[in-house]
Amino acid sequence: MGYEVGAVGLDVREGWWRKKQLASGITNPRIDGLVHLAMSTGAIGAKVTGAGGGGFLLVCVRPHKHRVVREALRGLRELPINLALNGSRIILDWRTGHRAAQ
């Protein structure tokens, strides 16, 4: 079973919209501007993540739009990610130092 970046992006977009409706003070003009810029250049979804005013902007983009969205957000540092299809799992037991098989 795989994932479709479009579906994930739509969920990210809707989640950000709903969060802004429920909580005041979680965004500001700069964050709104960055989200708008990402969306207007081809992102499917974008939202700020992190505590205390953000820190990361999660942007969901189809591969053929990576270049144009990356260029639009060129003042930001990029941290590429991939989605894990098997959910979270333990990879290290800090008490014993035992690493799980990869």
The token duo for 40 is 């207007």
Write down the pLDDT at residue 81.
84
> What is the DSSP pairing of strand 45-49 with strand 92-93?
unpaired
Residue 73: its pLDDT value, please?
97
The ranges assigned to domains in the chain are 5-99
Question: What does the pLDDT read at residue 99?
Answer: 76
Model pLDDT, residue 62: 92
DSSP letters of 51-77?
A: SSS-SEEEEE--GGGHHHHHHHTTTSP
For 27-49, what is each residue's pLDDT tens digit?
A: 889 999 999 999 999 999 999 98
Note whether 32 and 46 are within 8 A (CB): no
> Among the CATH numbers 3.40.50.300, 3.10.20.580, 3.20.20.70, 3.30.70.890, which is that of 5-99?
3.30.70.890
Beta strands in 1-102 (DSSP E): 45-49, 56-60, 92-93, 98-99
Please give the structure tokens belonging to residue 75.
Answer: 């003042």
Strand pairing partners for 92?
A: 99
Residue-level pLDDT at 50: 78
Token pair for 39: 């969306």
Can you list the residues of the chain whose pLDDT is less than 70? Answer: 1-3, 51-54, 101-102
